[in-house]
Amino acid sequence: MISAAFLADLAATASAEGVRQVIVRAVVRRGGRVLLLRRPPGAFRGGEFELPGGKVDPGETLDQALVREVREETGLAVTGIADYLGAVDYTSALSGAHVREFTFAVTTTTTEPITLDEHDTYRWSPTPPRAS
């Protein structure tokens, strides 16, 4: 599992580098598949599939944001952060802000049922086998 100190260091580094908005994404696995959520038509980037996640609120830690976002978007309860998978920086098309999006593999108490709030459907997408 990922330590709180490691997560705090990621957030501090982003802040020191002038990142204005932090996003977290969660890879939820079931067997050899990953959970993807589809944005509803008419929404920004409507029809696109994405990993569960969203903005880190002011005063919130990365792990707190992961737990909250996964619960809000899927109804699933995150029980741990298994791995840090990386980050990508970009400029927000909406605000022009420098954004850093962190992606983590998470564990959950269960993978069903999925309760959607902000998305219109979901799928379990196959992933390639892991290298040994």
3-state secondary structure 10-43: HHHHHHHCCCCEEEEEEEEEECCEEEEEECCCCC
Could you give the dihedral angle defined by the CA atoms of residues 75, 80, 25 and 62, in that order, rounded to the nearest 10 degrees? 110
Statement: residue 128 has pLDDT above 80: no
Statement: residue 132 has pLDDT above 80: no
Return the domain boundaries, the chain: 4-126
pLDDT the model gives residue 81: 97
What's the CATH superfamily of 4-126? Nucleoside Triphosphate Pyrophosphohydrolase (3.90.79.10)
Is omega for the bond preceding 113 within 30 degrees of 0, making it cis?
yes
End-to-end C-alpha distance for the chain, whole angstroms: 20
Statement: residue 4 has pLDDT above 80: yes
Reported pTM = 0.91
**pLDDT tens per residue, range 47-71:** 899 999 999 999 999 999 999 999 9
Statement: residue 43 has pLDDT above 90: no
